[in-house]
Structure 1
Amino acid sequence: MQLIKAEAITPHAIDECKALVALGDQHEDIAIRVIWEDFDDLASGNMHVFLAYEQDTLIGFLAMETYSSAQAEVSGVVHPDHRRQGVFRGLLAGAKDECVRRGIPRMLLICDVRSQSGKAFVEAIGAIYHTSEYRMDLTTLNTPMHYNPQLMVREARREDVDTLVSILVTGFGNYTEDDVREAIAQDIQTGARKFYVAFLDNMMIGTLNVTDMQDSLGIYGFVVLPDYRGQGYGRQILARTIELTRQTHQEPIFLEVETQNANALGLYESLGFEQTGCYDYYGKLVRSAD
């Protein structure tokens, strides 16, 4: 078996990874979580792909995001015929070395709740359950009856970045200001994500981004400042962003939300999102990742 850390990844290699994910999905009737658009971000050093080959045939891969300096998010798959042979442990060892090099103390392994092989692996390595997220897909958008005329939603501009960074750091405690600023700069440069910002009386009160995944659109990084929550602004901001997105894109829209976030779940369901999947996150300290 040959293990490789991809410094760059070819379209052919991505197709091989996608075929392997499709096989893994079919084998267990699951949906392995991989954000393929992030594979374009290898040059930034925030996305890492590890490949396992057996006689020139791809038998496994691991994708790791390191946008946060506090933790790395890990997902991947091994060919069903090559499981329980140490393939994913080998890939994870490479990911651990990268985390050590970057000073990241913890990895979060993402596992579809229906994956028996995934659960067996995280149990075998002693990973600890951290949280769960639902995947929710938009069926029919239930537009709010009323939009506050003082609320404006538009695409973010470069002059918005400082305030945008501040709002995102407020909303996501696992990311530092440097983490967020670097990620936004990369996204603006590559066009990987389109950021939207919301203003009330000319003050920025919220943001979210839309990631084009070719066959679908993912909504991420949705934050409304604490003082403006519970007043209907979140619903209006999300609905308006979807309306703006629909002007140029017709692909299915989805988002992810923590299963314990009752307020957000209610908001998304009221707009027409339905639960279609669930992922568990398991934490593993890097120093004991072997």
Structure 2
Amino acid sequence: MLSKEKLNEIKTLQEICEKEGRLQLKLNFDMLESRAVNRKEDFFHYADGKLVGFLGSYYFGNKVEICGMVHPDYRRRGIFSKLLEDALEEAKKREARTILLNAPTESHSAKEFLKNIPCSLSMVEYQMKWQKTELPENPSVTIRPSFSEEDLEAEIQLDVQCFGLNEKEARQYKQETKDLDTDLRLIIEAEGRIAGKMRLSEMNGESWIYGFSIFPELQGKGIGRKALSKVVKVEDEKGLSIFLEVEAKNAHALKLYESCGFRSYHSQDYYKVKL
């Protein structure tokens, strides 16, 4: 696990890089704060007694997302190239099937660097923030914590059917993330059965919604909108700012989120590395 000292060093470097580039980096602090022991997923470079380069690897089954940064005063010295080389080597050892490099859409330095990497743009992901909106009561949909083996199996099948993971990847990812202290796994019930799921991460006055999905055969019935509205109301009553992420190509999901009061404010580009 990463120590508080290392986490603070990462946050300090992140603030410097974001201020200089006027952008936002996706460093997944909920995952950084819950790293498993003996997993080589984070890579550091120190100079002059301080952290000047960091790269994090985030595994979702056999898919890995990679995001990193280098202090503005220490760029063009090969630091990021070395960090990425080490991360890619580890990804190959772990037999990662898909490797995605993540960069803020507005980052010019990232785009210049990526010109030298054998990769292609795979997707664009929007970060969205909820704006105060009147939401209706929805008694026909129930939200509850996930706790049983049946719930776990439903979560795995939702990841397979809605996010394109194969079953082995879905089970591995669920095993790795099911005990994160900052997360709450929720089951959505409607029409007398499990209809979907989502994961909430509450940190630093913010609530992030991840993995929101409804079984394909139950989509288009308003279940997703009702479930999202219900969760948003609860989180808003706690005084939390509410965020989520959605792929740009998922127009249906984008429209759903907008109908509940979410607005896009930032985007991340994902480049698939050609192995």
Q: TM-score by structure 1 length?
A: 0.88
Q: Which deviates further from its counterpart, 85-94 or 119-128?
A: 119-128
For residue 90 of structure 1, what is the amino acid of its counterpart? K
Distance in 1 separating the partners of 2:53 and 2:113: 14
Q: Secondary structure at the match of 1:104?
A: coil
Cα-to-partner distance string for 1:29-76 (whole Å, 9 max, x where unaligned): 10111111211332166771100111332111001111221x210111
Distance in 2 separating the partners of 1:46 and 1:243: 37
Give the deviation of 1:107 after TM superposition.
1.7
> Between Structure 1 and Structure 2, how many residues are aligned?
274
Change (3 A) 1:213 1:180: farther
For residue 218 of structure 2, what is the amino acid of its counterpart? Y
Q: Secondary structure at the match of 1:41?
A: coil
1:59 maps onto 2:52 in alignment:
yes
Superposition RMSD in Å: 1.9
1:42-81 matches, cutoff 5 A: 42-43=35-36, 48-69=41-62, 71-81=63-73
1:117 maps onto 2:109 in alignment:
yes
Partner of 1:275 in structure 2? 264
Q: Is the 8 A contact 2:205 2:239 kept in 1?
A: no
Cα-to-partner distance string for 1:241-286 (whole Å, 9 max, x where unaligned): 2233345x3221101111122211111111111111011111113x
Of 22, 28, 31, which residue of structure 1 is paired with 2:21? 28
Q: Is the 8 A contact 1:46 1:67 kept in 2?
A: no
Cα-to-partner distance string for 1:79-112 (whole Å, 9 max, x where unaligned): 0011111111100011011111101143211111
Change (3 A) 1:126 1:142: farther
Q: Is the 8 A contact 1:155 1:194 kept in 2?
A: yes
Distance in 2 separating the partners of 1:250 and 1:182: 34
1:79-158 matches, cutoff 5 A: 79-144=71-136, 147=138, 149-158=139-148
Of 230, 249, 259, which residue of structure 2 is paired with 1:260? 249
> Share of identical aligned residues, percent?
28
Distance in 2 separating the partners of 1:209 and 1:190: 11
Q: Secondary structure at the match of 1:20?
A: helix
Partner of 1:5 in structure 2? none
Give the deviation of 1:178 after TM superposition.
3.3
Q: Secondary structure at the match of 1:85?
A: coil
Q: Is the 8 A contact 1:141 1:239 kept in 2?
A: no
Change (3 A) 1:132 1:62: same
Distance in 2 separating the partners of 1:221 and 1:207: 7
Q: Is the 8 A contact 1:51 1:91 kept in 2?
A: yes
Distance in 1 separating the partners of 2:143 and 2:29: 27
Change (3 A) 1:170 1:47: farther
Partner of 1:210 in structure 2? 200
Q: TM-score by structure 2 length?
A: 0.93
Partner of 1:224 in structure 2? 214
Q: Is the 8 A contact 2:121 2:269 kept in 1?
A: yes
Gaps of 5+ in 2: none
Q: Is the 8 A contact 1:46 1:65 kept in 2?
A: no
Cα-to-partner distance string for 1:171-198 (whole Å, 9 max, x where unaligned): 110x233333343344333333211111
Distance in 1 separating the partners of 2:182 and 2:37: 12
Give the deviation of 1:215 after TM superposition.
3.4
Q: Which runs of 4+ in 1 moved over 4 A?
A: 44-47
Distance in 1 separating the partners of 2:252 and 2:37: 35
